[in-house]
Amino acid sequence: MSASKQASIFSLIVVVAALGYFVDIYDLLIFSIIRIPSLKELGLSAEQIKTDGELILSAQMAGLLLGGILWGILGDRKGRAKVLFGSIFIYSIANICNGFVHSIPQYVLVRFLAGIGLAGELGAGITLVAESLPKDKRGLGTAVVAGFGVLGAAVAFFIKEAFHWRTCYFIGGGLGIVLLLLRISALESGMYHEMSKTASKKGAFFMFFSSWERFTKYLKSVLIGLPTWLVIGILITFSSEFGKQFGIAEDIDPGKSVMYAYIGLAIGDVGIGLISQWLKSRKKALYIFYVFTIISIVLYFTLQWNGTASGMYTLCFLMGFSIGFWAVFVTVGAEQFGTNLRATAATTVPNFVRGLLPAMLFIFKEIRSLNGVGYVNGAIITSIIVMAVSTAAVITLPETFHKDLDYEEA
């Protein structure tokens, strides 16, 4: 057994990947958390804050989609560690620049660049950890990375409460620069070193579409992650609007909803890692958390009528915990494919899930506009559709818990 395969779940690779994902989540969500005060200071009206805010967020998501493909290909061609280094450099500089913006076009450009940088962090980190740990520790290692990383959302909220919005961006960029110094000592995985010596195609994105079996595995790997952004992108992000629909008299702070959801998500990520190890199955652990997700969504739509803001935040926490399968979801995507495509898969899969949020929002909008459906029933129907599609995908996806990752795609 190689030295890399004897690594601890608290080895330097795991710790650096966890810290990187922490900064990644901070920078990914900071705009959503400080959107209103930052745009208000730039002189925008309430309507412009909504429309231009959507434009800026869309630019960030477009950057994530483009960056997911770019960093994934580079991860397989140039190395996982180099992608970790390059991605955090770009989004750190982008966030520092974000603290100096004075117009919407500047804001759009900088968030687009930040999105490109942010796209490479998680996939490369999970790939490096999965390839550096033995089979019986892979799930625990990736759970540590995701569980610690998502706490960046809670820190972002508290930073927003304590500092001016420009300072929030400077802090995010500064954290990234500090992390770069730690990244210098991060080692490449042994599997990548061996694969880099071969003549196999590396990071060939279109290989995912060259065989039906590989394509269906790739598609299902994306679809099993949809519930996470159904909950975060619709039910949590628009908790203020849902609160009004539910008859809650108090104002709901979406930033606080995000914070509670991500605290729950952090706990869930660690929990599913332990459950996956105990059951020795990724799929069984996903089944359990899918059930949790369905239960929490049902509670969201049934317990909030004439409720309280604290009740809403509690349900946001529960829903966050239930979708705490993000680490296992990304790990499953990485484990489905050979070493020469693994970073491409692990990096593009989560970013394609994020990129499908506009499609889910479109479905939600179209359904709720139907005669007699309305806002709440539209969200319920959208949730049923998403959960049905994702459940079908996870049932038919191959189990990967015991899979040997030391192979290449032909």
Q: Mean pLDDT for the chain?
A: 85
Contact 247, 377 (CB under 8 A): no
- State the pLDDT at residue 186: 53
Q: Which range (1-5, 42-46, 63-67, 130-134) has the least confidence?
A: 1-5
Give the mean pLDDT of 235-258.
Answer: 87
Three-state secondary structure readout of 35-57: HHHHHHHCCCCHHHHHHHHHHHH
Q: Which range (10-19, 231-240, 379-388) has the least confidence?
A: 10-19
161: left (phi over 0), alpha (psi -120 to 50) or beta: alpha
Helix axis angle, 282-302 relative to 309-322, nearest 10°? Answer: 160
- On the question of pLDDT at 239 being above 60, the answer is yes
- State the pLDDT at residue 260: 92
Of residues 6 and 305, more confidence is placed in: 305
Of residues 135 and 71, more confidence is placed in: 71
Q: Which residue is it, tokens 């997700």?
A: 293
- State the pLDDT at residue 196: 54
> What sign does the dihedral 34-36-39-40 (CA atoms) show?
negative
Helix axis angle, 326-335 relative to 135-149, nearest 10°? Answer: 140
Contact 226, 303 (CB under 8 A): no
Q: Which residue is it, tokens 């950890």?
A: 129
- State the pLDDT at residue 203: 57
Q: Which residue is it, tokens 């709720």?
A: 368
pLDDT in tens, 251-295: 888 888 988 998 999 899 889 988 988 898 999 999 999 999 999
State which amino acid sits at residue 408. Answer: E
| Structure confidence at residue 137 as a pLDDT band (50, 70, 90) | confident
- State the pLDDT at residue 3: 42
Q: Which range (197-201, 368-372, 401-405) has the least confidence?
A: 197-201
Give the mean pLDDT of 349-360.
Answer: 85
- State the pLDDT at residue 169: 95
Structural domains in the chain, CATH included, are 8-188+204-396 (1.20.1250.20)
pLDDT in tens, 36-86: 889 999 999 878 887 788 788 888 888 888 888 888 888 777 776 777 778
Give the mean pLDDT of 3-8.
Answer: 52
- On the question of pLDDT at 190 being above 80, the answer is no
- Six-digit token string for 328: 């296992």
Contact 326, 226 (CB under 8 A): no
Contact 68, 348 (CB under 8 A): yes
Q: What percent of the chain has pLDDT over 90?
A: 33
Q: Which range (4-18, 183-197, 394-408) has the least confidence?
A: 183-197
Q: Give the span between the Cα atoms of 137 and 228, in whole angstroms.
A: 24
Contact 365, 372 (CB under 8 A): no
- State the pLDDT at residue 1: 37
Of residues 70 and 125, more confidence is placed in: 70
Q: At CA 317, angle to CA 312 and CA 319, rounded to 5? A: 90
- On the question of pLDDT at 342 being above 90, the answer is no
Q: Collapse the DSSP code of 58 into the 3-class scheme (helix H, G, I; strand E, B; otherwise coil) and give the result.
A: helix
- State the pLDDT at residue 197: 54
